[in-house]
Chains A and B, each alone.
Chain A
Amino acid sequence: MMDFSNEQLQRYSRHIILQDVGVEGQEKLLKSSVLIIGTGGLGTPAAQFLAAAGVGKVGLVDADKVELSNLQRQVLHHTTDVGKLKVESAKEKINSMNPDVEVKTYPYYLTSQNIKEVIREYDFVIDGTDNFPAKFLINDACVIEGKPLSHAGIIKFGGQVTTIVPGGDTPCYRCMFPQPPKPGSVPSCKEAGVIGVMGGVVGTIQATEAIKYILDKGELLTGKLLTYDALKMEFRKINLKKRDNCGICSDDPEIKELIDYEQGACEL
């Protein structure tokens, strides 16, 4: 059993008082690690809450620098951070928020060449990226490495999120969408726009799934796609099944090696 300092007992008192967490659960959180890929609309709220919760190690992946147009939704970045690497900006805020959290930064893009070694270091992966090549790469790498993953997407007033725990009967992203869309056929939020709070709602759902997975409590969004329509203020859970001929998670997968799909010109 870990020795909690008085400060920690105070900091995490609202967790510790919960029957489903307690000191044991808080210890699990402090010893856990979560990788957040993309430190933007989804990634910043996820990082913020996981750090506040005392997840012991948070990895942040993003090659981009903070831009003024990010600040309408990426609430961890401030006006004075414009021009700074997003992972550095996020790390500074997390360090000042909770000294218990070790933040590891990866200021580059993940590719078929480097993704496996990065995700191996973590217990859970959060996909907060904004493009299909990255989403397919992350899904495939997590399936191959057996790494649990929260997948999400947001655009306009909509969002969707699912949890993938490879190895069992959980369908993966490719079970839903066998192939990425043709480059340029589906708009990005840069082109279509997004209400700032969408990342807040969906990113914190991703953080919630990570926490539940670490605590081993409740039911995960495995085999379910949770869709959120903010205009109708409607959440729906769509049941998903594993596809027998899935290219990556079936028994005899067609895909043997990770693929770096090309980015659509409009997504660059």
Chain B
Amino acid sequence: MKITLNGNVVEFEGGLTVAELLKKEDVDMPDMVSVELNGEILDRDSFGDQLVKDGDTVEFLYFMGGGC
């Protein structure tokens, strides 16, 4: 399947949950990101169940606390 991840088209074999996608993309601290799927921010509790499908648009939003 092909999805648009953070603005880039990427291809994966078969389906994935959001949690699996975070893992595949080496996001080792999922606590650091919010995930937007097709424009909607997902509840963190749903990462394990929510499937990402062909054609979906996914954005990882990273916590950025600096300003100093």
A188 within 8 A of B: yes
> Is chain A's binding surface mostly helix, strand, loop or mixed?
mixed
Residue of A nearest to B66 (CB): A189
Contact of A158 among B7, B29, B31, B64 (CB under 8 A): B64
Please classify how large the interface on chain B is, using the bins under 10, 10 to 19, 20 to 34, 35 or more.
20 to 34
| B24 at interface by CB-CB < 8 Å | no
Q: Enumerate chain B residues within 8 angstroms of A186, measured Cβ to Cβ.
A: 29, 31-32, 63, 65
Instruction: Determine if A124 is an interface residue (Cβ-Cβ < 8 Å).
Output: no
Query: A130-B67, A131-B65, A152-B67 are known contacts. Are A175 and B31 too (CB-CB below 8 A)?
Result: no
Q: How large is the interface on A (under 10, 10 to 19, 20 to 34, 35 or more residues)?
A: 35 or more
| Interface residue A256 (Cβ < 8 Å from any Cβ of B) | no
Q: Is the CB of A132 within 8 A of B67?
A: no
How far is the CB of B47 from the nearest CB of chain A, in Å?
13
Q: Which residues on the B side are within 8 Å of A185 (C-beta)?
A: 29, 31-32
Beta-carbon nearest neighbor of A267 in chain B:
B65
Q: Give A224 Cβ to nearest chain B Cβ, in Å.
A: 12
| CB of B1 closer than 8 Å to a CB of A | no
Q: Are B66 and A155 touching (Cβ within 8 A)?
A: yes
Residues of B within 8 A of A (CB): 6-7, 29, 31-32, 34, 36, 39-41, 43-44, 59, 61-68
Ordered by A's residue number, 12 sampled pairs between the chains whose C-beta atoms are within 8 Å are: A42-B67, A153-B64, A153-B65, A176-B41, A176-B61, A185-B29, A185-B32, A186-B31, A188-B66, A189-B67, A238-B59, A241-B40
Q: A194-B66, A225-B61 are in contact. List 7 more A-B contacts (CB 8 A).
A: A127-B67, A130-B67, A160-B62, A176-B61, A177-B34, A181-B65, A236-B6
